[in-house]
Structure 1
């Protein structure tokens, strides 16, 4: 066999080995990709041992930053209890409320929890778990205000709300005669406008408003809640397995008394 033929055969063998290695690694990669594609969101959560939650941490007492900068509140304790029930860690991602649902559908986090009322409009974009909190919209005004007692009294008034919330929706579409609806990213900004005299009233969820008034005695609620609303955990529409797991955990926490303990910590 000539030297040239030998060199050709050696080169050919080397090429075959390279192709074989690439083929094997390509096959392994293909298997990995196939596994990734067939895994549900809940499978991925269990595999990494952590669930990532989108939340607007400005809605005391449900989620807010404490003096140390940590996100705390009713929702945080509740979701940590759910995480413990499911055997996974919990991580909160602070995001603006009006971007929470788009962020969820863009896979920026696994679920969204932010004192979010279950509405028909939102249910067209995401699914919700069974309700975990009953809340209603109320009107808040400054102490000494006597001409506002019901929604009818908001005619000709300036009302402050948090952008994208049920309060925003109600003030914009359902309450007739409002002079102007001022929208803010944070509910605290709406209350600041009220205190500074640039708004006549704030329309907002009862428990959050009650918590604010506990620390700001110059603000008061008037009348009764004019809506009945339920908060839910938002999931992507295709994540049925995850939704079921969350519902099972919620039911268990209500049965074993954990939910009541958390509720009493923040609201009694």
Structure 2
């Protein structure tokens, strides 16, 4: 399957009024277009072979099979995710979308997929020194963050004293911790679990429980008027595939 790169993602507000492809149009085309940023392991990421992989990638393929549709993955980013969906560049956003009040007001959100919340992932060398937010938000601490998602929102709202290093994307966040050019990043419980298990003694969860008030869940997101597609997704989620793949990818099912 192609992992298409979207061109010209700068969109004007009128894009919000572009009507979604109807379920009938999707079925006639034979293709379900799934937008993923592709930098959020274990939900959607580029593996060692350069291929798109992850829990949500397998979920998308299984959904497509159930609907008798080919799945076409479309590259998006966290800063442009909502605008790209609003512009009808794809039918459904997957790969780590957090349910928020703003997204719920503007789009159609699926039933909860994976349990989540914000935690601190750190270089193992300093993880024990950063057990809570008060220890993280100190002038001597270097905190790395990428733009556009709920991680940036948390940092902007809670970090007042730590040194904030802003990087391009989530790959750069992780590399900064590996290189020890940064001490810590705010990320999701899902991602923290994954990288702590994948890179022991390199990446460690400084906090193993979500910060108070950050408890959340991941969802799939469609345009507000695409009710039939959302109904199809929610009906499909009631089957066994969700639980089977959650066990396979070691994610905490909602």
TM over 0.5: yes
Rounded to whole Å, the distance in 2 between the matches of 1:176 and 1:133 is 26
Encode CA deviations 1:90-135: one digit per residue, 9 max, x unaligned.
Answer: 1111222211111111111111112110111222332211111111
Q: By percentage of residues, which structure has more helix?
A: 1
Q: Any conservation in 1 of the 2:20–2:223 contact (CA below 8 Å)?
A: no
Equivalences for 1:150-169 in 2 at 5 Å?
150-156=132-138, 157-169=141-153
Equivalences for 1:106-185 in 2 at 5 Å?
106-145=87-126, 146-156=128-138, 157-173=141-157, 175-185=158-168
Please tell me whether residue 206 in structure 1 is matched to residue 189 in structure 2.
yes
Q: By percentage of residues, which structure has more strand?
A: 2
Q: Any conservation in 2 of the 1:171–1:178 contact (CA below 8 Å)?
A: no
Shift of 1:69: 2.8
Equivalences for 1:1-268 in 2 at 5 Å?
41-145=22-126, 146-156=128-138, 157-173=141-157, 175-217=158-200, 218-223=202-207, 224-226=209-211, 227-251=214-238, 253=239, 257-267=240-250
Q: Any conservation in 2 of the 1:161–1:190 contact (CA below 8 Å)?
A: yes
Report how many residues are paired. Answer: 227
* SS at structure 2 position matched to 1:232: strand
Q: Which runs of 5+ in 2 are unaligned?
A: 1-18
Higher RCO structure (Cα 8 Å, ≥6 apart)? 2
Structure of greater Rg: 1
Q: Any conservation in 1 of the 2:20–2:226 contact (CA below 8 Å)?
A: no
Rounded to whole Å, the distance in 1 between the matches of 2:232 and 2:131 is 43
Change (3 A) 1:266 1:130: same
The 10-residue stretch of structure 1 (125-134 or 209-218) with the greater mean CA deviation from structure 2: 209-218
Rounded to whole Å, the distance in 2 between the matches of 1:92 and 1:212 is 24
Structure 1 residue ranges (4+ consecutive) displaced by more than 6 angstroms after TM superposition: none
